[in-house]
Structure 1
Amino acid sequence: MMAASILIIDDEVLTLNNLKRVLEKVGYEILLADSGETGIEVFKKHRPNLVLVDLMLPGIDGIEVLKQIKETDANTVVIMITAYEIIEKAIESMKLGAYDYLLKPFKISDLKTSVARALELQSLKIRIIETVETEREKYYFDKMAAKNKKMIDALKIAHKVAHLEKTTVLIMGESGVGKGILARAIHYNSPRADEQFIEINCAAIPENLLESELFGYEPGAFTDARRRKIGLFEKADHGTVFLDEIADMPLSLQAKILKVLEEQSFVRLGSTNQIKIDVRIITATNKNLKREIEQGNFREDLFYRLNVVPITIPPLRDRREDIIPLALTFIQYFNHELHRSFKGISEDAAKVLLAHDWPGNVRELKNVIERIMALNQSEEILLEHLPLEIKSSKAKFPILKDSVEKTEFISLNELEKKYIKEVLKFTGGNKSKAAKILGIHLTSLFRKLKSIK
């Protein structure tokens, strides 16, 4: 592990040498500069981890050095050194981004402690930035597997609204379609990406606990409230709160959520003080909120406040062309997680995956791929690897069903055209697979496709 580097900027040579000797004994690499101008040059050239700078420098003073360092690299930690009589300037430097200040004469132990804590803070900041970057890479919109037009349209809307950091988004879709993933993608592609993303499932937490989880409480707010609890809204300040299964939130709590949306403030349980926050709220539901309003389960005013940008994610059975691309994405992921080396899916296995209706949607598909890869070592997913409930699926096409239900009959020629289109959609546009399902030669399929066009 490389030693941390520290730049010391001071116009007194004796101070420079004393600080250098003390900090080198600890194991740090030391750079020296005897003026503000030289210090800035050394900083830009070597980019040290930490800078110790005297406030009272001839020429460019310590405040200006601090400003220029922060403009060059906001993550560099800076400690100011000052005499007691100019402590006001030291306080000003803290407001400008300095981590700490040391009053001359200071103890060696105080110097070592301040430097160690500052470097620990910088290390934490770097880890947070790396984590955010890793998360952001996972949720790039262009990495999301989507060939289906409705899904592509949903991703386009999400991409556009991600940059509008205050706009409320309502994500709708069946359980397992990926509403939480889309919410995270919106957050990590927004200006709030470096801040907290906090998710809470409104259906998973008992009604009596949900309010205290969201808003926190003061000591004595209720029987077991012995100390202050910071709620999730407060923790997410400047970030994003994702309220999943919003339709299951109690009516009494819906009014408080409306207030947060309208005023960006709330009150902890057991308090009367308003707490101002700056959060983006994204919500999701697998229920029809208009029907919930009609049944008296959901506030109409909250619905209109949440429904600023609605996004509907279609179920996996309605976007079969995405099944294989999603499966391949999961294979790549679990190769890394489970230390496997699967390269793809056999044709027979792919045909069965495409035929299954996936009532559990993307979540079910992901779980099936993980189960197969956990229990098998192979170059590809084979038909024999698939669970029995998946293998027993039969291809379901809605063409005949729709025609009968609507009592609208069409000619055999039109039915054939529709059926071929549906099979091509089913196979993700793979004409060879479509020909096999249809039981005709590939050349015959090409001939029929010409007549369709």
Structure 2
Amino acid sequence: MAKVLILDHSKSVRNILRERLEYEGFSAEAVEDEATASDMCEKVPFDLIISDTGCKVPDAGIPFIALSADASVDSAVEAVRNGAQDFLTKPIDMNRLMQSIHRTIENPAPAPAAPAPVVRRSRRARPAEAEHIIGISPEIEHVRQLIDKVAPCEARVLITGENGTGKELVARWLHAKSSRAAAPFVEVNCAAIPSELIESELFGHERGAFTSAIKQRKGKFEQADGGTLFMDEIGDMSLAAQAKVLRALQESRISRVGGDKEIEVDVRVIAATNKNLREEIKKGNFREDLYHRIGVIVVRVPALREHAADIPTLVDHFVRTISAEYGARPKPVDPAALEALRQMPWTGNIRELRNVVERLIVLSGERITARDVKEYY
């Protein structure tokens, strides 16, 4: 039974939250001040704290959800900057709160490490687990809800969206929240592999199958056996390769190039594309039967311009993570600079935003200003 601490100056809010949490099967404690909360955290191993933003959360390494009567973007950014896993506004939407609680308890952010000498890490170093999906907008919350619903089942998923929207991150969370989470997550970029090599890449090959095949090699389907195969940019795959993939999905069997033996594989396929596959079908570039095989569930990732309200939160996240990669102190970002960033078109979406933030960190002065944004965008 998960243990939750409620920290709020309002008695009515404490009582309502405590009653609902106990009804949902949680063990809940409610306190009205920071001192009592700190004492409680020393005695009880809480899994989560729900706190009003007017209260100071105990520095106990416990994930927390922030509640606030102020629905402004600045309040949300400040809460996330202070370490909140999520930010919800009052009056409280209980269904959304319960979703947030389950998500936070099941996937807590790692507790801050003890202070240590600054070590410059290799840039672009990435953690093994999936990064958090950043954003508090309804559009991003909808994506999170779809992930929570779809991940536990075995249905194949097609993720659609423009370049740079975060389709791979969605795929990683679908895997991380599934029963296959302990098994391999294998990805293949179908657009980056020449058409003559895609079959070998996906299904492997036997020694001597072609001139450069000097030894047997397992393909992506075999490597992902028991886990998840993420086929990125599947819309760029040749029709010949599409036919082989269709057969593999229909029969759960593959044959290596140059081999006669059929190999059983247990793979959940998640595909992604930035193309409109229905239009590609009309043009004769994509097989309709394969589309229906991979598109049992379709998850659309919105373009950044569709959830521009998340830009301040994303900027804050990127400033902190990129600064950590450089071993530098995060630079303050002026409100006017955030507003300037919100007005940009972002045709490259979140990937472009990250690149711009990194450029601003490198080229700006002590703080990031609106003038910096205008000059270095």
Q: Normalized against structure 2, the TM-score is what?
A: 0.64
What is the DSSP-based 3-state SS (H/G/I as helix, E as strand, rest coil) of the residue aligned with 2:247? Answer: helix
Aligned equivalent of 1:161: 150
- CA distance change for structure 1 residues 387 and 187 in 2, over 3 Å: closer, same or farther? farther
Asked if the contact 1:215/1:269 (under 8 Å) is kept, the reply is yes
Q: What displacement does 1:219 show?
A: 1.5
In structure 2, how many angstroms separate the alpha carbons of the residues matched to 1:161 and 1:349?
38
Cα deviations by residue, 1:358-379 (Å, 9 ceiling, x for unpaired): 000000001111122234463x
Match of 1:279 in 2: 267
Structure 1 residue 176 corresponds to structure 2 residue 159: no
Work out whether residues 338 and 374 of structure 1, in 8 Å CA contact, stay in contact via their aligned partners in 2.
no
Per the TM alignment, residue 186 of structure 1 is displaced from its structure 2 partner at its CA by: 1.2
Q: After superposition, where does 1:280-429 map in structure 2 within 5 Å?
A: 280-342=268-330, 344-376=332-364, 378=366, 380-386=367-373, 388=375, 390=377
Which contiguous aligned blocks of 4+ residues in structure 1 show a shift greater than 4 angstroms? none
Q: How far off its partner does 1:387 sit? A: 5.5
Q: Which residue of 2 aligns with 1:222?
A: 210
* Paired positions, count: 252
Q: Distance in 2 between matches of 1:389 and 1:168?
A: 42
**Higher helix proportion:** 1
Matched, 1:201 2:194: no
Report the Cα offset of residue 322 of structure 1.
1.1
On the 8 A contact 2:334/2:370 being kept in 1, the answer is: yes
CA contact (8 A) 1:254 1:302 kept: yes
Q: Which residue of 256, 274, 284 corresponds with 1:268?
A: 256
| Counterpart AA for 1:154 | V
Alignment-mate amino acid for residue 135 of structure 1: A
2:188 alignment partner, SS class: strand
User: Could you tell me which amino acid in structure 2 is paired with residue 309 of structure 1?
Assistant: I
Cα distance in structure 2, aligned partners of 1:258 and 1:344: 51
- 1:292 to partner: Cα distance: 0.4
**Cα deviations by residue, 1:262-284 (Å, 9 ceiling, x for unpaired):** 22110000111111111111100
Structure 2 distance, partners of 1:160, 1:344, is 38
**What are the superposed Cα offsets for residues 324-378 of structure 1, whole Å, 9 maximum, x if unpaired?**
1111111121121111222542111011101101000000001111122234463
What is the SS of the residue equivalent to 1:153?
helix
Judged with a 3 Å threshold, the aligned counterparts in structure 2 of structure 1 residues 135 and 225 are, in CA distance, closer, same or farther, namely closer
SS at the partner of 1:261?
A: helix
> Aligned partners of 1:265, 1:381: CA distance in 2, in Å?
54
1:135 is matched with 128
Deviation track 1:96-116 (CA, whole Å, cap 9, x = no partner) reads xxxxxxxxxxxxxxxxxxxxx
Alpha-carbon distance between aligned partners in 2 of 1:276 and 1:314, rounded to the nearest angstrom? 36
Q: CA deviation at 1:189?
A: 2.0
Q: Which residue of 2 aligns with 1:239?
A: 227
Asked whether the equivalents of residues 340 and 373 of structure 1 are also in contact (C-alpha less than 8 Å), the reply is no
CA-to-partner distance for each residue in 1:79-128, whole Å, 9 max, x for gaps?
A: xxxxxxxxxxxxxxxxxxxxxxxxxxxxxxxxxxxxxxxxxxxxxxxxxx
Q: In structure 2, what is the Cα distance between the partners aligned to 1:227 and 1:375?
A: 49
Rounded Cα–Cα distance in structure 2 between residues aligned with 1:255 and 1:389: 46
Identity across the alignment (%)? 42
Change (3 A) 1:352 1:264: same
The superposition leaves residues 303-323 of structure 1 with CA deviations (integer Å, 9 ceiling, x where unpaired) of: 011111101111111111011
Q: 2:331–2:361: 8 Å Cα contact kept in structure 1?
A: no
Render the CA deviation track for 1:51-100: whole Å, top value 9, x for unaligned.
xxxxxxxxxxxxxxxxxxxxxxxxxxxxxxxxxxxxxxxxxxxxxxxxxx
CA distance in 2, matches of 1:343, 1:159: 35
Q: What is the one-letter code of the residue matched to 1:388?
A: E
Match in the other structure for 2:139: 150
How far the C-alpha of 1:147 sits from its partner, in A, is 2.6
Q: 1:215/1:329 Cα in 2 relative to 1: closer, same or farther (>3 Å)?
A: same
Segment drifting more, 235-244 vs 286-295: 235-244
1:386 deviation in Å? 2.2
SS in 2 for 1:381: coil
- Quote the RMSD (CA, aligned, Å): 1.8
| Contact kept? 1:342, 1:381, Cα under 8 Å | no
Distance in 2 (CA, whole Å) between partners of 1:389 and 1:339 is 22
TM-score (norm 1): 0.53
Per the TM alignment, residue 168 of structure 1 is displaced from its structure 2 partner at its CA by 0.7
Structure ID, larger Rg: 1
Deviation at 1:196, TM superposition (A): 1.5
Task: Report deviation, 1:146.
Answer: 2.2
Q: Higher relative contact order at CA 8 Å, sep ≥6: structure 1 or structure 2? A: 2
Give me the whole-angstrom Cα distance separating, in 2, the residues matched to 1:196 and 1:381: 41
Q: Is the 8 A contact 1:267 1:275 kept in 2?
A: yes
Report the Cα distance in structure 2 between the residues aligned to 1:340 and 1:386, rounded to whole angstroms: 20
Contact 2:156 2:270 in 1 (8 A): yes
Show the counterpart of 2:51.
none
